[in-house]
Chains A and B, each alone.
Chain A
Amino acid sequence: MSRTETPHRVRDGARVIAPFAVAVGAFGVTFGVLARDAGLGGLKAVVFSATTFAGSAQFAATSVLSAGGTLAAAIAAAVLLNTRYIPIGLSVAPSLRGAAWKRGLRAQLVVDESWAVSHLGGGRYDPRLLLGAGLTLYCSWVAGTTVGSVAGSLLGDPEALGLDAAFPALFLALLAGQIRGRIGVVAALGGAAVAAALVPFVPPGVPVVAASVVCLVGLRRPAGAPAS
């Protein structure tokens, strides 16, 4: 028996996520700035990042408030964006063992980036990579938010710096590591197509969740079923 791979450690998770954590820290600064404009200045933005830890939902909620939307609309936007954490949570569930409180706590470290880098392929996730990556991202997200909310007025308009274009670029870098085989390409293209097609018809957030139906192309036949 040869050992094919060394088991990952928590600090491996911190190492692989480091470049993403730098970007997420910059997004945190941006969030701190925008949150202030939305009436979540100072401590509020920091508490929001520390308790929610879901950047896209936080950006969505604050942008609704900034645009003069209601509290209910802001909450709905955030919750809809976060519904993707139901399928994401299901995907990591088999890899999270131990007591219920422990599983629930570790699940809170799941964000798009930590989830993607802890994917070993074939739907298996490494809990130590998730822990290291998740904790690192959490620290940089909260620290970034703090900087943004304290020093925001010195930084100028995030959109002029092109920071909104940095999000899809970050996800593209994550996606590149996730495409395994032709079926992965099919799933990615299908997911992109379904999401784009739905944007005009449903509230923001729903297209991403609806795109997950594309994953059904990976449904395996039960063992012993005929091949044709």
Chain B
Amino acid sequence: MRAWVLIAVVGASTIALKGLGPLVIGGRSLPRPLLGVVALLAPTLLAALIVTQAFADGRHLVVDARAAGLAVALVAVVLRAPVLVVVVVAAATAALARAVA
């Protein structure tokens, strides 16, 4: 029962959060000054997601096997490796770091 409540509430809220912008202002242009702000949203949020997923453990900042994986991923990205190579070397590095530790 608890699980179904979770699924229903999270599902409904996600649908609402995703739909809000397109339903309220959909199709119309944003005010000009805001265009430059929206253009930067993708790099900003992606960078913030990378940092929290690689270094956050709850409310603590930690450097663990994920950081090693991210460092190797960065090298792969700089070398213009395909996406799947980037993801696989990151996972393999983290797995190796854990196996060694």
Contact = CB atoms under 8 A, between A and B. Distances in A.
Interface of A: 19-20, 22-23, 39-40, 44, 47-48, 51-54, 56-58, 61, 65, 71, 74-75, 78-79, 82-94, 96-98, 100, 103-104, 106-108, 110, 112, 115-116, 119, 121-123, 159-176, 178-179, 183-185, 187-192, 194-196, 199-204, 207-208, 211-212, 214-223
A187 to B, nearest CB: 4
Interface string B22-40: 1111111110111111111
Contacts of A91: 21, 38, 41-42
A168 B54 CA distance: 6
A85 B70 CA distance: 25
16 contacts: A19-B84, A23-B84, A44-B4, A75-B9, A78-B14, A89-B18, A119-B42, A159-B98, A162-B90, A171-B49, A171-B53, A172-B50, A173-B86, A176-B77, A211-B45, A215-B40
Main SS class of interface, B: helix
Interface residues of B, number: 80
Contact of B73 (A40, A104, A172, A192): A172
A168 B27 contact: no
B27 A94 contact: yes
B36 A96 contact: no
A215 B53 contact: no
A162 B92 contact: yes
B57 to A, nearest CB: 9
Given A19-B82, A169-B86, A176-B77, A183 B40 contact: yes
